[in-house]
Amino acid sequence: MAPHIFPFCVFLEDTDAYEMVFNNRYMQYATRALGDLLGWKEMSRLASEEDTHMYIREVLFHRFLQSAVLGDYCQVETVLYKLEDMKALFLIKMARLGNGNTPEAKPVPLVDMIVELGFNDEFGPGSLPPSVLDLDVRPDLPWGEIPPYYLKAVGTESKMGQMPHRSIAPHARDKCAVYPFVASMDMLDCNRDLNTQFVMHLYERSRNPIDPTTRATCLASKSNTDCLRVVVRWDKVRFNHYGKVLLGDELEIRTAQVEDNEKNIVVVFHALFTTGQNPECIAHAIVTIMFISSTTKAPMAIPRELNQEVFAGDA
């Protein structure tokens, strides 16, 4: 069976001041594509009548190859990659088809990811619905072309992504930039769980790495107008907040950074914590950022103002 195709167009609300798509929006496109693959009617029924709803358990792999911009016509290819008892892995690939009246000669790869999908009912994790079990499993699809400078920087396996989360452990809070907030109604979904999209929105702050001293964001353009800061991949994007966050709960995002000067990349660690006497990490992600020339598209050195302390080596 051919991959399921879900088309979309990039609108103004999906983009930042530079008319580039927010990183967390790609997860929204992926969620919409999964809903389209399974059937919106089925999704609606699962979310209401049977008190069961779909949720993303983990993003195992999320690589950014290029960014979509305002007005781009794009598509999402979705296939069932692997099937297990209580979860399903989906391979998702996004590509740009053109912009306005200018079509691409062939689809330009934008993003690819592997998403682990699960279903919850009122008693906890539930079995997979027929709409998932009836799909063909396709583990043999290629990743497609990868720009050489991205491959050199991060490849298909990120060694940084396997590092332990020592930098965001509860005892290392003083080594992190901390962003506190209170769970409000607009952050919750229809099941009164903290919306996954909102968690990804908080991680969007990784586009502006944080200075550990001033807690201010560091823009790459401060040092070199030719330098572009690009989020190239996310690793270990794990969600464990379902049923643990209520309206009015006090939470915080902890952010720490580590550099790899050999590869000219910055790795940002994010974690969503509860607060109080026994804080619990209920979601986390590792984000890899690199810097490239806007003209030559070649890798550039890490801007001087991003020379941070190396947090990840701290116990």
Residue 183 sits at the vertex; the CA angle it makes with 192 and 171, to the nearest 5 degrees, is 120
CA distance linking residue 54 with residue 129, whole number of Å? 10
> What pLDDT sits at residue 95?
92
The yes-or-no verdict on residue 213 having pLDDT over 90 is: no
Domain ranges in the chain?
1-145, 147-315
| pLDDT at position 74 | 94
Output 116 or 311, whichever has higher pLDDT. Answer: 116
Q: Give the pLDDT band of residue 157 (cuts 50, 70, 90).
A: very low
CATH code, 147-315: 3.10.129.10
Q: Do 1-145 and 147-315 agree at the fold level?
A: yes
pLDDT value, residue 122: 65
Confidence bin at 124 (pLDDT 50/70/90): low
31-51 tens-digit pLDDT: 888 888 887 655 544 454 455
Mean pLDDT for the chain overall: 71
52-74 as b/e, with b when 16 or more CB fall inside 10 Å?
bbbbbbbbbbbbbbbbbebebbb
pLDDT band at 96 (very low <50, low <70, confident <90, very high): very high
Between CA 315 and CA 312 the distance in angstroms is 8
Strand partners, 87: 118
What CATH number belongs to 1-145? 3.10.129.10
Query: What pLDDT score was predicted for residue 275?
Result: 86
User: What's the pLDDT score for residue 304?
Assistant: 60
Provide DSSP, 77-121. EEEEEEE-SSEEEEEEEEEEEEETTEEEEEEEEEEEEEEEEEEEE
Is 48 or 12 the better-scoring residue by pLDDT?
A: 12
What average pLDDT does the segment 158-170 reach?
Answer: 42
Taking the whole predicted model, whether its pTM rises above 0.85 is answered as no
Tokens 């996310």 — which residue? 234
Residue 27 has pLDDT above 70, yes or no: yes
Q: Is 214 helix (H, G, I), strand (E, B) or coil?
A: coil
Instruction: Name the most confidently modeled range: 34-43, 91-100, 273-282.
Output: 91-100
Per mean pLDDT, which range of 113-127, 129-143, 193-207, 259-273 is the poorest?
A: 193-207
Q: pLDDT category, 73, cuts 50, 70, 90?
A: very high
HSE at residue 216, side-chain half, CA atoms within 13 A, is 6
**Taking 50 as the threshold, does the pLDDT of residue 314 lie above it?**
no
| Strands annotated E in 144-264 | 177-182, 227-239, 250-260
Residue with the bigger pLDDT between 92 and 308: it is 92
Nearest to 263 by CA among 149, 147, 145, 110: 149
